[in-house]
Amino acid sequence: MTAAHPDSIMAPRDALPGRQYLVVFLSDTWDGRVVSGRYVGTRSPDGNWIVRAPRGGQSFHGVDDHEIAVVE
C-alpha cells in the first residue's frame, strides 16, 4: 500500500459501496490523464471506484483503492 495522504480520513477499502466520498489521487496522473484537486468518488460493490470531477467533466472508471485517498 502507498503512503497515506495527510488529509485521509479512512482507508479506501473501508468505504461503503454506493456512498459518495471526496477523494484525491495519490499521483499527478491516472491512466495517462492529469489529475489534481478533490474529486467525488463512489466505491462499487466489486471494489473499484468511479471518480468524477465535482462539477462535471472528467470521469475515471476502475480506480483501485491504492490509487486514491478518502479525504471527506
Whether residue 2 is predicted with pLDDT greater than 60 in this model: the reply is no
- What digits encode the pLDDT tens for the residues 12-58? 999 999 999 999 999 999 999 999 999 999 999 999 999 999 888 88
Whether residue 4 is predicted with pLDDT greater than 90 in this model: the reply is no
The answer to whether 23 and 49 have CB atoms below 8 angstroms apart is yes
The answer to whether 43 and 15 have CB atoms below 8 angstroms apart is yes
Whether residue 3 is predicted with pLDDT greater than 90 in this model: the reply is no
Is there a domain that residue 31 lies in?
Answer: yes
Three-class SS of the chain: CCCCCCCCCECHHHCCCCCEEEEEECCCEECCEECCCEEEEEECCCCCEEEECCCCCCEEEEECHHHEEECC
Quote the pLDDT of residue 10: 93
Domain of 25 in residue numbering reads as 12-70
Quote the pLDDT of residue 1: 43
Is there a domain that residue 19 lies in?
Answer: yes
Q: Enter the pTM of the model.
A: 0.88
Is there a domain that residue 7 lies in?
Answer: no
Is there a domain that residue 3 lies in?
Answer: no
6: phi then psi, degrees, rounded to nearest 5: -60, -25
